[in-house]
Amino acid sequence: MNLATGRDRDMASESVAEAAFTYAAGGPDTDFARRYGRSVVWNCKSCDQLVTDHGLCNGPAEDERGHADNCPRLAATTARCDAEWEAER
């Protein structure tokens, strides 16, 4: 996808992950995004569920809705996110 941090002047402060979400879900300043929000639907290879991903906002458990209750991918992503938050404190 050739994404890089700060490549687009309007998205200069975005991380590569945020740029990838914008690439997939569209820009945040469109009429559609303002009315309905942005999301991407994908199939989780770990729990085989359809996941609606709302971006990098509130943590994996809130942002990635649809995982099975025992999904190992979601558990690992949540643990990694929690560890990063703790390290920043």
C-alpha closest to that of 62 among 46, 83, 82 = 82
**pLDDT interval class at 6 (50, 70, 90):** low
Task: Tell me the CA distances in angstroms from 50 to 1, 5, 42, 66, one per residue in order.
Answer: 23, 29, 6, 6
Residue 78 lies in a domain: yes
pLDDT, tens digit (0-9, with 9 covering 90-100), for 46-78: 999 999 999 888 889 999 999 999 999 999 999
Residue 1 lies in a domain: no
pTM over 0.75, yes/no = no
Counting the structural domains of the chain, the total is 1
Domain span holding position 71: 9-88
Asked whether residue 3 is assigned to any structural domain, the reply reads no
